Amino acid sequence: MSPASSPGTDSGPSTDSGAPPRRGPVDASMTLINEIMRSPIDPGYAAAAARKKAQQEGGRSPGVRPTTRLVVLTVTVLLGLLVGTAIVNLRLPAAASAQAREELVQRVDAANAAVAQRGEQVATLQSQIAALQRSGDPDNGQAATRAATLGLLVGTVAMAGPAVQITLDDAPESALPAGPNEAERGGQFNPGRVVASDVQAVANALWGAGAEAIAINGHRLTSTSAIRFAGQAILVNYRPLTRPYVITALGAPDLGSRFSAGEGGAYLEQLASAYGARTDVRTLPQGAVPAGTALTLRYARPEASQTPATTTPTETSPNQTSTTPQEAPS
C-alpha cells in the first residue's frame, strides 16, 4: 500500500480514466501557435474557396450585389462611348489638315509653274532685245560691243566653256550623325541636311578660285543675287531649289584643282565626314550657264557730246519758272 499523498501536493496526472485530464495555466507566448492550430486556413483563402464554390454551383459571388454589377457595366459602356467619340473627333481635324495641305501644295506648284513660264518669256525677250541691238545702226557697233562685254560681266548673257560641276545632297537617313551640331552651320534642322550657308560657302570658294560665271540649279548668280533660306527650302534669286543642288562654274581649265586645293575642298570634306552629306566634284571640258535676270537702270547720265546752251530762268509765277536761251555775243 502506497503512502497517501499529502493535501496540496501535485502528484502528476491522475490515472483514473473516467476523469478528464487537468491542464495547467495557458502560456501567453503560445498564443500564435494556438491560433494557427485552431484555424490553419487563412481567411482570404477561405473566402476565395467560398466564391469558387458559389460560381461552380451557379450562384453569385458573395459580397457582390446586382446593383454593383449594373453600375460597373454602365460605366464601362460610357467609357467606351467617350473613347470612340474622342477618336472620331481626332481623326476629323487630321483629314481637314491633310486636305488644306494638299490645296496649298497645288497652289504653290501652280505659282512656281507660272514663275518659270514668265522667266522663260523674260529670257526670250532679252534675246530679242540683244538681237535688235546687234542689227541696229551700223554706226553704233562700238556701243553694241561694249554692251555685250558689260553683259558678260554682269551676267545677263549666257556663257559656255571649261567648267566645274559640284553636286551637294542631303545625307541618307542611315548616315545621319546623332549629335545636334546643326547650330554651328547656321541651321536649326537636321545636321545631315544641306543648308543655305553650305551653298554660300561653296559659291564663295568658287569665286575665290577664279570662277567667271556660276549657276545653281540653272539660276545664274549676278551681283544682285542672294542665296537664302525659307524654312527648310534654299532660295536663289528668291526661287526655291530642289535637291540635289548642282553648282556649275565656268573658268580656266585648272579651276577644279584650285578649288579642291583651297578652302572649298576642305569644306566639302568636312561636310562629308562630319555630317554625312553627299558631295561630288567633276571637271567638265565644256559646260554652260544661262543668262541671268536683266538689271534695272535706276540712274543714268548721258555722255556729253557737245556743250549745251546756257539758259537763265525767267520768273513767271511764284511756283513756275521758264528758261530762255541767252543770245550769243556778237
Query: How far is 228 from 237, CA to CA, in rounded Å?
Result: 9
> Does the structure show a pLDDT above 80 at 269?
yes
What per-residue confidence (pLDDT) applies to 281? 94
> Does the structure show a pLDDT above 70 at 295?
no
Take residue 309 and report the three cell numbers written for it: 546752251
Q: What's the pLDDT tens digit per position in 18-68?
A: 555 555 555 666 776 777 676 666 667 777 777 777 777 665 555 556 677
Weakest-pLDDT range from 128-142, 156-170, 211-225: 128-142
Higher pLDDT, 226 or 324: 226
Q: What's the pLDDT tens digit per position in 62-94?
A: 555 667 778 888 888 888 888 888 877 776 666
Weakest-pLDDT range from 8-22, 37-51, 129-143, 277-291: 8-22
DSSP code string of 106-154: HHHHHHHHHHHHHHHHHHHHHHHHHHHHHTS-GGGHHHHHHHHHHHHHH
Residue 183 DSSP label: G
Pick left, alpha or beta for residue 161 (phi over 0 → left; psi -120 to 50 → alpha; otherwise beta). left
**What average pLDDT does range 215-227 have in this prediction?**
90
What per-residue confidence (pLDDT) applies to 316? 38
Take residue 29 and report the three cell numbers written for it: 507566448
With cell 567638265, the residue in question is: 284
> Does the structure show a pLDDT above 80 at 126?
no
> Does the structure show a pLDDT above 90 at 216?
yes
Nearest by Cα to 146 from 303, 288, 292: 303
Higher pLDDT, 209 or 17: 209
What per-residue confidence (pLDDT) applies to 168? 94
- pLDDT-derived band at 2 (thresholds 50, 70, 90) equals very low
> Does the structure show a pLDDT above 70 at 13?
no
- Model-level pTM? 0.52
Q: What's the mean per-residue pLDDT of the chain?
A: 74
Higher pLDDT, 98 or 216: 216
> Does the structure show a pLDDT above 90 at 9?
no
What per-residue confidence (pLDDT) applies to 169? 93
- pLDDT-derived band at 318 (thresholds 50, 70, 90) equals very low
Three-class DSSP labels, 46-106: HHHHHHHHHHHCCCCCCCCCHHHHHHHHHHHHHHHHHHHHHHHHHHHHHHHHHHHHHHHHH
Query: How far is 277 from 30, CA to CA, in rounded Å?
Result: 82
Query: How far is 130 from 152, CA to CA, in rounded Å?
Result: 12
Q: What's the pLDDT tens digit per position in 133-142?
A: 667 655 556 7
What per-residue confidence (pLDDT) applies to 92? 63
Across 118-122, 143-147, 301-305, the highest mean pLDDT is recorded for 118-122
What per-residue confidence (pLDDT) applies to 297? 62
What per-residue confidence (pLDDT) applies to 280? 93
What per-residue confidence (pLDDT) applies to 288? 92
| Pair 222, 155: CB distance under 8 Å | yes
**What average pLDDT does range 108-136 have in this prediction?**
80
What per-residue confidence (pLDDT) applies to 19? 54
In percent, how much of the chain has pLDDT > 90?
A: 26
